[in-house]
Structure 1
Amino acid sequence: MSKQYHFIAIGGAVMHNLALALLSKGYEVTGSDDEIYEPSRSRLKEAGILPEQKGWFPEKIHQGLEGIILGMHAKVDNPELIRAKELKIPIYSFPEFIYEQSKNKKRVVISGSHGKTTITSMILHVLKTSGMDFDYLVGAQIEGFDLMVGLSDAKLILIEGDEYLTSPLDRRPKFFHYHHDILLMSGIAWDHFNVFPSFKNYADQFSQLAQMTPENGTFIFFEGDPYVKTIAESLPVNKTEKIPYAEHPAIIKEGQTFLLTEEGELPINVFGKHNLQNLQGALEICKSLGIKTKQFYQGIQSFKGAAKRQQVLAKASDSILFRDFAHAPSKLKATVEAVKMQYPKRRLIAVQELHTYSSLNKDFIHNYANSFDAADTAIIYLNPKAVSLKKLELMDEATLRAAFKRKDLQLFTVIEKLKKYLEEQDYHHCNLLLMSSGNYDDMDLTTLQSIINKKHL
C-alpha cells in the first residue's frame, strides 16, 4: 500500500507543486485549504486532488496518514493541525519534508536576498541540457520543467533556499532545514520587514546559515557584496572551501548581451549586471558539480529566464513590454537599471505595484530611495484594499516622492486609471516595465500587448 500524505494549505505555489510531485512518485495525496487560486486550482483538479470543499475538515486526519505537510498559510489553531497533534501524526513543514526526502543526497542550496530563483533556474537548465540526474526545489515555474519540485532517486538535489519563515509552528527561516553541502550566497539587502525588524537581525540569518556549512563543504559567494564577503571571511580557515565570484564579463550590442569567453562572444537571452552576477554564480556551482565550463556555456545560451523575471509579454522593433517580479528595493533598482542599460536610447516607463508588507509600510519605504532613478517615467500603483488588509496607513504622493527621492513620481490608486494611462502612451522607442510580486489586481494586459505587438504590422 502506498504512503499517504495530507497537505494543510495545499493551494500554495510550492505546496501544490510538492503535492503533484508526490503524486507522480506514486504516493496518495489529500489536502485542504480555505482558498485556492489559479493556477493551483486547475492543476490540482486535473490531477484529481482538488479538495471538494473550501475549508478545514478534521475528519480528513486519520491514523493511516504517513505524515502531514503544513503550509505557511495555515494558522496555529487550524482544526486539522490540532487533530493531527492529537493523533500524534508526524507534522512536516515543506522544508523539513524536502530534507527528509533528500538526506542521503548531495544538497546544493542557493541563498541571498535577490537572484535566488534565477541562479537556481540557470543551474537547472544547464544540468538538464548536460543530461545529469537531479532533484530540485525552485520558487518559480521554469520553461522545460512541469513542476517547481522534482523528487526521484537522483543523488543530487538543488534547492532555492528562502529566508522566509518555515511554518506557523516554526518561525525560523526555511533555509536552515536543508543542511547544505554546497551553499551559494548572492547578496544581502533587507527584506521581510514584518518578520526581521532590523537589518542586523535579517543579516544574522544569513551568517548563521553560512556557519552551518559542514567540514569539506563549499561556500560560493558574491564578493561584490560587503556583507556576504564579511560572512565568508568569518568562516573557519581550512574547514570550508570558499569560492568568490563577480560579474561575468559581457558586452551589449544593439540590445543584445554577449558573454565574453575563451570561446568568443556568446549571445544570451538575459541581461543586466545582476543577471551577469547570477550567471557567474551558476557557473561556479556547475563547476563544483563536475560540469565543464564549455558545457555550461553551451547550455546557458538557450536559457530564457524564470517566469516573471524580465519576462517579455509583447515586443516590436523599438519597444518591449516587460513583466518582472521585482518588489524589494535592491531588486527594483537592479531591474530598472538593467532595462535602461540594455536599451539606453529608448524611453523607459517603469511601474511598481507596492504589494508586500515592507513596501506598504511608511517606516520601511525610505529604503526605496533612488531605486527608480534610471526610469524616464516612474509610476507607483497602490491598492488601498491591500493597505487596509495589512492594517497599515495609506501613503500619499508626497510621502512616496520623498521616500523614492523622485519629485516627478506618479501615484495611481485605481487600477482602471492606471490601465487607461498606460494604454494612452506612445510606445515608439519606448519600453514598459511592470514590476510586482502581486498581479496588479488582475489588470487585463491584452490591449497593451496588442498596442505594442501591432505597432509595426
Structure 2
Amino acid sequence: MRIHLIGVGGAAMGNLAAMLKQDGHTITGSDQALYPPMSDRLIEWGIEAGEFDSKRIINNGKPQSDLFIVGNVISRGNVEVEEVLNHNLPLTSMSAALYQFFLQGRRVQVIAGTHGKTTTAFLLHHILDQAGLGPGLFVGGIRGDGHAGFSLPKSNFFVIEGDEYDTAFFDKGPKFLHYRPTDLVLTHVEYDHADIYEDFDHYKRSFELLLRWIPSNGNVAAFAGSSGVQSVMNKLPAGCISWYGPEGIANGAMLAEKSQNSRIVNRGYSTYRREAKRIFLSEIGNIEVPFIGEHNTANALGAALIAQRLGVAETKILDALSTFPGVLRRQQIRKKTIIVNQNSEPTEIVFIEDFAHHPTAVKLTYDAVKQAYPNSRIIGLFEPRSATSHRNTFQQDYLNSFTGFDQLFLTNIYNLEKVAADQRLNVPLLVESLNQVGTESHFSNSPKELFEQLCAYLSSNKKVPTVILAMSNGSFVGVYPQIDKFLDQLK
C-alpha cells in the first residue's frame, strides 16, 4: 500500500513511518520543515520526505497515495489536509493507523498514566523481549542503548505507550482509546494537559473510558500510590486488578514493602538495590534496576507484574530488570566534570538531563537525584515548555515542587504568545515566591540568558560537589550542548 504521513517530522509519526516501511509499504512523508535527528533518520530508513505541498496529495489529477495519515499537531488549513478533504481521499489518524496495521488481533499491553509511561513501556518490552516473546513496541522515546522506540512484533504481543492527549483535528478523544488494551499498567492519574482537559474530573474520564476496553481475560497493574488511580479503578471489577507500589496493599497480588536502600554502581549507572520482601507472592531476593528513584522502582514493579501475568518466570523478570539500559532524557547523565577544590581534593560536577515538566515529576526527579547524591548541591534548570507548564494552573504546585533545590534557574515560558496573558504561568512571580521561602532562584527571559546566568554562578561557586538537573519536555532551545562545553572548560 502507498501511504503518506502528514506531519512526519515528529518522533512518533517518524517512527510509524519506519514501521510501515519495514512492514512492506511504500512510504512518503511531509512536514513544515524537517530537522535532525528525524530528518537524518528518514534518509537512513529510505523514506522520501519534504515540505508540505498539495502535489504530494494529487498530481496530474491522480492521488499519490492510497492512504493518508495525519499527526495530531496538524490542523485544518494545512495545504495537504485540505487537498485530501477536497478530494474525499482516505484519511486516518496516527493512533487509528497503529491499530489498523499493528494492534488489531494482537494481545496489546498499554502503559498509561500521567507519569512514567515511556520508562515503564520500555521496561515491559525489555522483559518480554529478553524472555523470548518477541513483542512489538511503540514508545515516544529512545532507550539508553540507542534502541529507537519502535519494533515490529514477532508474536502476538505488542507493548505501546498510551497517551491521553487528543488524537487528531477531527478526533479530540485521547489516543489510547484506539489501542484496545488486553493488559494495562496504570502508573498515575493526576491532572495534566490543561489545554484540552477542563478539570481533573474531565481528565479522569478518559482513563475511565480506557478501562472499559479491558476484557475479562485481561490484566490491570495499578499503582497504589496514586489516589487518582484508586479513584478510576472503582469503575472496574476488582478481579482483574493487581496493585503495586512501595506501600500499596490491595488484593495481595504484589507488594514491594518498605526497606532500606543501599547505593551500588552497576554498568555506569547510579542504582539502588531494594530488598523486596514480597514480590510475586514469594521471597525472591533483590531487584536491581539501572536508575534512581522510588518512582522508577514503582515503574519496574508495574512492568514486572504484567510480565508475570503473561507467564514470564520470576528469574527471567529479575534478570531483565538488572540489564535494562535506561531511557535517554530520563535522568540521563550528560556530563561529569572533576574540579580540584581549595583543599586540592577532586570535586565532581554532574550534569543530568530529564524530561520532567509536570510539578509531580519535578518533585519525584529531585527526590531521586538528592537521594543518589546526598552530599551534592542540587542546581535546577527549568524550561516551562509543555502545554501544561505554560499555564498558571500549577503556579502553587511548582512552588512546592521546587522548594528544596539549592539553586534554581528558570526561564520564561516557551512560545509566550501562544498562551493568553491571564492563563500564563507567572515565572517572575514564581521566582519571587521561591526566594521568599529560602530557595535561591533566578529568572531569565530566554534559555540563552539562563545559560549565561548559570555560567556566571558556577564560575564563582565551583568548588562544591554539584548536580545540575535540567528539566524540560523539549530541547531547552539547544542550551544543553553549550553547558556540556562549558563544563569541559571549567577549571
Q: TM-score, normalised to structure 1's length?
A: 0.91
Shift of 1:315: 2.3
**Aligned equivalents of 1:57 and 1:292: distance in 2?**
53
Alignment deviations for residues 416-449 of structure 1 (CA, whole Å, 9 cap, x no partner): 3322332341163111100001212111535545
Maintained 8 Å contact 1:365/1:403: no
Partner of 1:442: 478
Shift of 1:216: 2.2
2:487 to 446, 451, 455: 451
1:388 aligns with 2:417: yes
**Aligned equivalents of 2:300 and 2:489: distance in 1?**
30
Partner of 1:41: 39
Tell me the number of residue pairs that the alignment of Structure 1 and Structure 2 aligns: 449
Maintained 8 Å contact 1:372/1:404: no
Alignment deviations for residues 182-215 of structure 1 (CA, whole Å, 9 cap, x no partner): 1111111211111112111111211221122122
1:291 aligns with 2:291: no
- Residues 214 and 416 (structure 1), Cα distance of their counterparts in 2 relative to 1, 3 Å cut: same
Tell me the amino acid that sits aligned with residue 34 of structure 1. Answer: Q
Partner of 1:352: 382
**Aligned equivalents of 1:351 and 1:427: distance in 2?**
19
Tell me the amino acid that sits aligned with residue 4 of structure 1. Answer: R
Superposition map of 1:35-434 within 5 A: 35-52=33-50, 54-61=51-58, 62-63=62-63, 65-101=65-101, 102-144=103-145, 146-238=147-239, 241-247=240-246, 248=256, 251-253=261-263, 256-261=271-276, 262-316=283-337, 318-383=348-413, 386-392=415-421, 395=426, 397-402=428-433, 406-407=437-438, 408-424=440-456, 425=458, 426=462, 428-434=464-470
Shift of 1:405: 7.8
2:30 to 29, 32, 37: 32
Shift of 1:141: 1.1
- Residues 363 and 447 (structure 1), Cα distance of their counterparts in 2 relative to 1, 3 Å cut: closer
- Residues 66 and 396 (structure 1), Cα distance of their counterparts in 2 relative to 1, 3 Å cut: closer
**Aligned equivalents of 1:21 and 1:27: distance in 2?**
9
**Aligned equivalents of 2:207 and 2:483: distance in 1?**
43
Alignment deviations for residues 2-53 of structure 1 (CA, whole Å, 9 cap, x no partner): x11011111111001111111122210011211222211111123332434x
2:206 is paired with a residue whose SS is helix
Shift of 1:234: 2.7
Maintained 8 Å contact 1:366/1:403: no
Unaligned 5+ segments in structure 2 are 247-255, 265-269, 277-282, 339-347
Partner of 1:8: 6
1:136 is paired with a residue whose SS is strand
Maintained 8 Å contact 1:368/1:403: no
**Aligned equivalents of 1:144 and 1:314: distance in 2?**
17
1:22 aligns with 2:20: yes
**Aligned equivalents of 1:110 and 1:303: distance in 2?**
17
Alignment deviations for residues 258-305 of structure 1 (CA, whole Å, 9 cap, x no partner): 132445445432011110111110111111222112111111112132
Maintained 8 Å contact 1:252/1:342: no
**Aligned equivalents of 1:69 and 1:178: distance in 2?**
16
C-alpha RMSD over aligned residues? 2.5
Maintained 8 Å contact 2:455/2:486: no
**Aligned equivalents of 2:232 and 2:56: distance in 1?**
48
Tell me the amino acid that sits aligned with residue 137 of structure 2. Answer: Y
Shift of 1:218: 1.5
2:411 is paired with a residue whose SS is strand
Maintained 8 Å contact 1:8/1:32: yes
- Residues 404 and 228 (structure 1), Cα distance of their counterparts in 2 relative to 1, 3 Å cut: farther
**Aligned equivalents of 1:161 and 1:405: distance in 2?**
40
Alignment deviations for residues 123-153 of structure 1 (CA, whole Å, 9 cap, x no partner): 1222222222111110101145643222345
**Aligned equivalents of 1:445 and 1:362: distance in 2?**
30
- Residues 445 and 315 (structure 1), Cα distance of their counterparts in 2 relative to 1, 3 Å cut: same
- Residues 143 and 336 (structure 1), Cα distance of their counterparts in 2 relative to 1, 3 Å cut: closer
Maintained 8 Å contact 1:321/1:452: no
Shift of 1:406: 4.5
- Residues 427 and 176 (structure 1), Cα distance of their counterparts in 2 relative to 1, 3 Å cut: farther
2:401 is paired with a residue whose SS is coil
Maintained 8 Å contact 1:350/1:377: yes
Maintained 8 Å contact 1:258/1:267: yes
1:139 is paired with a residue whose SS is strand
**Aligned equivalents of 1:171 and 1:144: distance in 2?**
35
Maintained 8 Å contact 1:246/1:280: yes
Quote the sequence identity (%): 27
2:141 is paired with a residue whose SS is coil
- Residues 400 and 217 (structure 1), Cα distance of their counterparts in 2 relative to 1, 3 Å cut: same
**Aligned equivalents of 2:395 and 2:378: distance in 1?**
23
Maintained 8 Å contact 2:409/2:454: no
Maintained 8 Å contact 1:337/1:374: no
**Aligned equivalents of 1:430 and 1:288: distance in 2?**
42
Unaligned 5+ segments in structure 1 are none
**Aligned equivalents of 1:153 and 1:305: distance in 2?**
23
